[in-house]
Amino acid sequence: MFDNEEIGIPCPECGHETSKPVAWVKANDELPCRRCGTAIVLENEKHLLTIEQVAQNMTKLRRSLAKFHRNARGTRWHP
């Protein structure tokens, strides 16, 4: 669902942030920093948990919006 979304990965040494797609983060263990060359070890388990939490929250939001939309169709606004 979010595989094409970009995720920012900060370098622990210089702070430079590199963006990579979620699918790339899932498939790799480390990323060389473009600024200082430090090998950034990707904590995939941590990143994947965050991605899963975001996906769950998006699903909840879609359900809430759909429910709101269904309820709003039956009411009229009176100024």
Over residues 22-69, the pLDDT tens digits come to 889 888 999 999 999 999 998 766 767 777 788 788 889 989 999 888
List the structure tokens of 40: 């950034």
- Return the pLDDT at 47: 65
pLDDT band at 6 (very low <50, low <70, confident <90, very high): confident
**How many Cα atoms are found within 13 Å in the side-chain-facing hemisphere of 66?**
6
